[in-house]
Amino acid sequence: MTRRMAIAVLSLAGAFLAIYLTLYKLGYLQTLACGTGSCEVVQASRWSKLFGLPVAMWGVGFYLAMFVLAAAGSFGRLADSPALARALAALSGFGVAFSGWLTYIEVARLHAICRYCVTSAGIVLVLFILSALDARGHASEPE
Amino acid sequence: MAKSKAGKKQSGKNAVRGTPNRQFVAAIVVVALLGVGGLGYALSHRGPSVIVVDPNIPAGAPQGHLMGKADAPVQVIEFGDFECPACGNFATITEPDVRTRLINTGIVAFHYYDFPLSQHRNSFTAHLAAACAADQGKFWEMHDRLYAGQDEWSDLIDPGMTDPMSVFRRYAKELGLDVKTWENCVTSQKYTAQIKGNQAEGMRRNVQQTPTIIIGDQQVNGVSYDQFKQLVDEALAKSGKAKADSGRKSAGGKKGAAQ
């Protein structure tokens, strides 16, 4: 399995996690299955929304974009595309910065940690590492 | 040798360009099945839904929640709705001064009566949450938390907020309530009759909007502290005059009797 395939698989897993958190935020789930941590504190905070939409919903969009790019870049003509590799690296780099900021809010402002959010931040970090390696691999090849 | 390495690399790329890799497809299918299954499970094992007021529970006797000395010279009644923004403003802006200057000093006895409006979807549950906190001696703490946190659970502010219980549960935890007992009380609608009774009392008094505040014989809506104080002073003056009148009458009666 190539790095891009791994990115696609991981992005799909992240999308389901973000969908779960979005369903909670939209009120379709009464409680988060959260044995430890303070998911409800985090999900009820004012930082759980961005531009009127739940942050988790933006997360769904992010993961689906990563999935589509990585899956499309796993086969055919796009498999050799350095531009696509750079796009994946840039998108996941933005994801790392954003989830880093959210983790800072959890620790420094809310003093509450949501394990789903931490898991998502971990997935984003791995996606960035894989994307950066993929971009580096394609940078050394002639276009 | 170099040629053979290049050839291998090329063949690897060709493999990628070919039909989708089996491992990849299998991994996608597994993740998709787990994801859909997990979400399906979570949706089918939801907790109790937002409380629907049981129409079979009749209205009970009205019973407000008292703050201050019951025999204070001025009796004040508020008919409030926890989800009403104007009630939230009154509770968070005016009421702190009222408490410090008029209730804690023994001038005012403040009675809160439930008046949840039907257009506020999460309000009745909030009133149950407060009544059940009262069971554990923390009505006013929950009252304050609910009003201060309206933006976290109000359906008016956040139309997606269909499960206020997750927020109320957190409040109960923060206030140190026995959460299990409190939640059983809320979900069993133990205080529905009392809340309906308070609503009926409001309707009997022709309450048209919330908050409605009755100070002595004056019925007003959201007021500032200064207006509130003025009405309390008027009520005090009236009660003082009434006392003086009754004192004079009684003294006159005694005098007459003595003559």
Between B31, B39, B152, which is nearest A12 by CB? B31
CA atoms within 13 A on the CB side of A38: 16
Of the pLDDT bands very low, low, confident and very high (cuts 50, 70, 90), residue B250 is low
Question: Letter for the amino acid at B234?
Answer: E
B28-53 pLDDT tens trace: 999 999 999 988 887 776 544 456 66
Of the pLDDT bands very low, low, confident and very high (cuts 50, 70, 90), residue B13 is very low
Q: Which residues of B touch A31 (CB under 8 A)?
A: 47, 166, 169
Say if residue B20 is preceded by a cis peptide, omega within 30 of 0: no
A29 Cβ under 8 Å from any chain B Cβ: yes
User: What does the pLDDT read at residue A129?
Assistant: 95
Q: Which residues of B touch A15 (CB under 8 A)?
A: 35
Q: Is B43's CB within 8 Å of A2's CB?
A: no
Helices A82-104 and A115-139 pack at an angle, to 10 degrees, of 150
Between B254 and A7, whose confidence is greater?
A7
B214 pLDDT more than 70: yes
User: What does the pLDDT read at residue B128?
Assistant: 96
Length of chain A: 143
A interface mutation test: which of B9, B16, B183 has the most A CBs within 10 A? B16
What is the reported pTM? 0.52
How many angstroms away from the CA of A138 is the closest CA of chain B? 12
Q: Is A74's CB within 8 Å of B21's CB?
A: yes
Give B12's contacts (C-beta < 8 A, 6+ positions apart). none
User: What does the pLDDT read at residue B24?
Assistant: 87
- Distances from the Cα of A25 to the Cα of A106, A125, B87, angstroms: 17, 24, 26
Q: Distance from CA of residue B182 to its chain's centroid?
A: 14
Q: Where are the alpha helices (DSSP H) in chain B?
A: 2-17, 22-44, 85-89, 95-98, 123-134, 139-148, 150-153, 164-174, 179-187, 192-204, 225-258
Reference B111, options B211, B224, B203; nearest CA is: B211
Give DSSP secondary structure letters for B234-249.
Answer: HHHHHHHHHHHHHHHH
Between B250 and A96, whose confidence is greater?
A96
3-class DSSP state for residue A105?
helix
- Which residue in B has a C-alpha nearest to residue A77's C-alpha? B17
Helices B123-134 and B164-174 pack at an angle, to 10 degrees, of 20
How many angstroms away from the CA of A108 is the closest CA of chain B? 19
User: What does the pLDDT read at residue A120?
Assistant: 92
A2 Cβ under 8 Å from any chain B Cβ: yes
How many angstroms away from the CA of B22 is the closest CA of chain A? 9
Of the pLDDT bands very low, low, confident and very high (cuts 50, 70, 90), residue B61 is confident
Contact A43, A24 (CB under 8 A): yes
User: What does the pLDDT read at residue B221?
Assistant: 82
A75 Cβ under 8 Å from any chain B Cβ: yes
Mean pLDDT of B240-259: 56
Give A75's contacts (C-beta < 8 A, 6+ positions apart). B16, B17, B18, B20
A101-105, A134-138, B74-78, B241-245: lowest mean pLDDT where?
A: B241-245
Q: Which residues of B touch A9 (CB under 8 A)?
A: 24, 27-28, 31
Between A118 and B46, whose confidence is greater?
A118
User: What does the pLDDT read at residue B49?
Assistant: 43
**Whole-angstrom distance between the N-terminal and C-terminal Cα of chain B?**
137
Q: Is B31's CB within 8 Å of A13's CB?
A: yes
Angle at A90 between CA A84 and CA A95, to 5 degrees: 125
B204 pLDDT more than 70: yes
Q: Which residues of A touch B151 (CB under 8 A)?
A: 46
Between B47 and B117, whose confidence is greater?
B117
Q: Which residues of B touch A80 (CB under 8 A)?
A: 13
- Token readout for B84 is 């009403």
B54 pLDDT more than 80: no
How many angstroms away from the CA of B246 is the closest CA of chain A? 57
A window 90-129, beta carbon within 8 A of B = none
Mean pLDDT of A63-70: 94
Q: Is B166's CB within 8 Å of A30's CB?
A: yes
3-class DSSP state for residue A115?
helix
- Which residue in A has a C-alpha nearest to residue B47's C-alpha? A30
Of the pLDDT bands very low, low, confident and very high (cuts 50, 70, 90), residue B243 is low
B128-164 pLDDT tens trace: 999 999 999 999 999 999 999 998 898 766 666 677 8
Average pLDDT, chain A: 83
Contact B87, B51 (CB under 8 A): no
- Which residue in B has a C-alpha nearest to residue A54's C-alpha? B160
User: What does the pLDDT read at residue B160?
Assistant: 65
A50 Cβ under 8 Å from any chain B Cβ: no
User: What does the pLDDT read at residue A79?
Assistant: 82
User: What does the pLDDT read at residue A7?
Assistant: 94
- Token readout for B223 is 């007021």
